[in-house]
Amino acid sequence: MNENLIWAWLAAGLVPYHIEKKLPSRRERIVIIRALFWSLEVRTRRTRRTKRTDWTLHIPLIERVRDAVWAAVMRLKGGDPQGPRP
C-alpha cells in the first residue's frame, strides 16, 4: 500500500493541472503549463524575418536545494546569504 501511494503522489505531481495561453501582443504568444513538481513557460516572439522561442522550465525542489547550498556556502565564507538571483 505504501509503495502504491508513493507512485500515486509521483504521478499526481507530474500531471499538469493548469494550462494558460496569453497573447500580450500581436507578435508574441505565451503558454504556461503548471504541475505540482514543475512548471514550463514557452514564449514565442515573431519578427518580420525570424521566429524566436524561449523555453523556461522551473523545478522548485532543485531550485530550493540550490538556494540552500548557496546560503550554506556564503555563511561559511561570511558573505551575504541571499546571494545572486537569476
Copy the grid coordinates of residue 19.
494550462
- Which of these, 46, 48, 20, lies nearest to 34 by C-alpha position? 20
Domain ranges in the chain are 2-59
> Could you tell me how many residues make up the chain?
86
Threshold 0.75, pTM exceeds: no
Instruction: Identify the helix (H) or strand (E) that includes residue 25.
Output: strand 18-25
DSSP 10: H
Query: Per residue in 44-85, pLDDT tens?
Result: 999 888 999 999 999 888 888 888 888 888 888 876 556 555
- Which of these, 39, 75, 74, lies nearest to 57 by C-alpha position? 39
